[in-house]
Amino acid sequence: MREHRIRHSWAEARQTAFDAAEPVPETALPLGPDLCGRRLAEPVVALQDIPHFDSAAMDGWAVNGSAPWIFVSPGERLYPGQASDILTGGLVPPGAKAVLRSESGRVSADAEGLPVLQLSSEAKPGEPRAGQHIRPSGKEAVAGEQLLAAGTILNPVRLALAALSGADSLSVAGRARVRLLFTGDEVVDSGIPGPGRVRDVFAPQLSAAVLALGAEVVGEARLPDRLPETVAALSATDAEVFISTGGTGRSAADQVRRAIDELGADLMIDGVAMRPGGPVFLARLPGGRFLVGLPGNPLAAFMALATVAQPLLAGLAGLPRPAAIEVLSGAAHEPDPGRSRLLPYRDFYGLASPVAKTESAMLHGLAQAEGVLVVPPHGVKLGEAVPAFSFPWN
Ligand SMILES: Nc1nc2c(c(=O)[nH]1)N[C@H]1C(S)=C(S)[C@@H](COP(=O)(O)OP(=O)(O)OC[C@H]3O[C@@H](n4cnc5c(N)ncnc54)[C@H](O)[C@@H]3O)O[C@H]1N2
Ligand code: MOO
């Protein structure tokens, strides 16, 4: 392993992680609910007129001319004085001038006992008007017309429209495939842990967080604190990114850094000058795959996720670099030379006020927060503008 040991600043780390990523190529996927949230790489156009045939908007009769009408078989050409049965959505036969809805007509028998259609007492004056209750073909779109532009984020309505277009698959922007690796022999995944054990806070949510950050999880595994298993897990080739939790330190139990050495990976970010989350790293593994090492402390892990994983995943998805916002500080913060402090805050009357319970191993504060202040090493005065970020779920 090359020993860079350059601790990036918070802003440099975000830029470095973003710049490291080449967008994953676009891909054509079958039309289905899995595409919800994906970004169109190519426009969706109508493959034929929508609707593609003249259809009835009401149950009743297709008619030509004015009452009374005699009946012909459904689908046959209609001449003046003729009608045929039709249902909502049904194909309007040639020669039909209007659809008379069932409430406006009444079928009786003529002198020879043959059925004849008359206007009922419910018919409005002038009914049926020419074209009434006929949905003409091409009314919504003509063949070749763009229905959804490239770049549109797919949602249930847009997926429905894509189906209406006649498409069976859609071309969507690529996104990173991610494997999650959870370390820590002390971690239990259910129930109330005993002393020395901790309840896992990552497996219940990290794949949802990754999805919200524009990537998809293709596998997750719990790793024992042992080198061979860690190296083997990092050898999978079906993901662009691994995200590990815990084991970023250099203790005897921490195997992730040793695995990076063993695999000959390039450590691109080896710690960030921030607290919490400082031990986060970004490595490039052989074959161009990435490993983001999140610290095991829960709040530290979320801060590391926002600082390194979010820009990396955005870059791989071809999205812009996640923007930092500016908020006005609701408190003064003393200098802390050499590192930024990431402080979860809530807005109180236009001022960003740090919340309580935001130590590295805590989560309560972050769960109440609207965003996170990035207090620079030289500190902040009350009311001063300060960079901040929020998560997509805030
Ligand atoms: N001698 C030093 N010790 C530590 C340093 C240091 O610089 N020198 N840095 C501290 C900082 S800062 C952080 S952050 C943590 C980073 O720890 P690791 O990434 O090595 O993670 P672990 O040691 O495995 O665990 C730390 C902590 O997190 C808990 N944890 C781990 N996984 C989970 C999980 N899935 N769910 C809930 N909690 C988890 C674990 O039990 C530990 O309590 O290191 C400091 N130490
Ligand atoms: O990054 Mo550590 O978060 O300070 O405990």
Identify which ligand lies nearest to the alpha carbon of 256. Answer: 1
Q: What is the pLDDT of residue 249?
A: 81
Q: Examine the pLDDT at 4 and tell me if it is beyond 50.
A: no
Q: Are the folds of 55-135 and 325-390 the same?
A: no
- Whether 298 is in the pocket of ligand 2, judged by its Cβ within 6 Å, is no
Class of domain 27-50+148-172: alpha beta
Fold exhibited by the domain 6-25+174-316? Molybdenum Cofactor Biosythetic Enzyme; Chain A (3.40.980)
Mutate to test the pocket of ligand 2, among 275, 299, 307, 336 (most ligand atoms within 8 A of CB): 275
Tens digits of per-residue pLDDT, 248-261?
Answer: 887 777 889 899 99
**Nearest listed ligand to the Cα of residue 340:** 2
What is the arrangement of strands in the sheet containing 105-109, beginning at the earlier edge strand?
A: 98-101, 60-64, 82-86, 69-71, 115-119, 105-109
ipTM, two decimals, is 0.98
Check whether 175 has a pLDDT greater than 60.
yes
pLDDT in tens, 177-190: 999 999 988 999 99
What is the band of 84 on the pLDDT scale with cuts at 50, 70, 90? very high
Per residue in 11-43, pLDDT (tens digit) is: 999 999 999 999 999 999 999 999 999 999 999
CA–CA gap between residue 207 and residue 249 (Å, rounded): 23
Instruction: Give the amino acid at 27.
Output: T
Looking at the structure, give the CATH architecture of the domain made up of residues 55-135: Beta Complex (2.170)
Q: Are strands 241-245 and 290-294 parallel, antiparallel or unpaired?
A: parallel
What is the pTM for the complete model shown?
0.87
Residue pLDDT, tens place only, 97-152 = 999 999 999 999 988 999 999 999 999 999 999 999 999 999 999 999 999 999 99
Task: Write the pLDDT tens digit of every residue in 349-368.
Answer: 999 999 999 999 999 999 99
The answer to whether the CB of 56 falls within 8 A of the CB of 85 is no
The chain-wide mean pLDDT, for the chain, equals 95
Read off the pLDDT band of 345 (50, 70, 90).
Answer: very high
Tell me which residue has its CA closest to atom 4 in ligand 2: 276
Q: Residue 168: helix, strand or coil by DSSP?
A: coil
pLDDT category of residue 225 using cuts at 50, 70 and 90: confident
Q: Ligand 2 in contact with 276 (CB < 6 A)?
A: yes
Q: What are the CA-CA distances from residue 163 to residues 26, 31, 126, 203, 266 (Å)? A: 20, 7, 38, 35, 45
Among 297, 307, 339, say which to mutate for ligand 1: greatest number of ligand atoms within 8 Å of CB: 297
Please determine, looking at this structure, whether the domain spanning 325-390 carries the CATH number 2.40.340.10: yes
**Smallest CA separation from ligand 2 atom 3, residue:** 276
Sequence-ordered list of residues with C-beta below 8 angstroms from that of 5, at least 6 positions apart, any chain: 270, 271
pLDDT recorded at residue 252: 75
18: left (phi over 0), alpha (psi -120 to 50) or beta: alpha
* Domain coordinates in residue numbering, the chain: 6-25+174-316, 27-50+148-172, 55-135, 325-390
Please state, in angstroms and rounded to a whole number, the distance separating the CA atoms of residues 194 and 210: 30
Q: How confident is the model at residue 332 (pLDDT cuts 50, 70, 90)?
A: very high
Q: Decide if pLDDT at 300 tops 80.
A: yes
Instruction: Report how far ligand 2's centroid is from the alpha carbon of 104 (Å).
Output: 76
* Residue (of 93, 102, 100, 91) closest to 51 by Cα position: 91
For residues 264 and 216, the answer to whether their CB atoms sit within 8 Å is no
Structure tokens at 64: 């030509």
CB 64 within 8 A of CB 78: yes
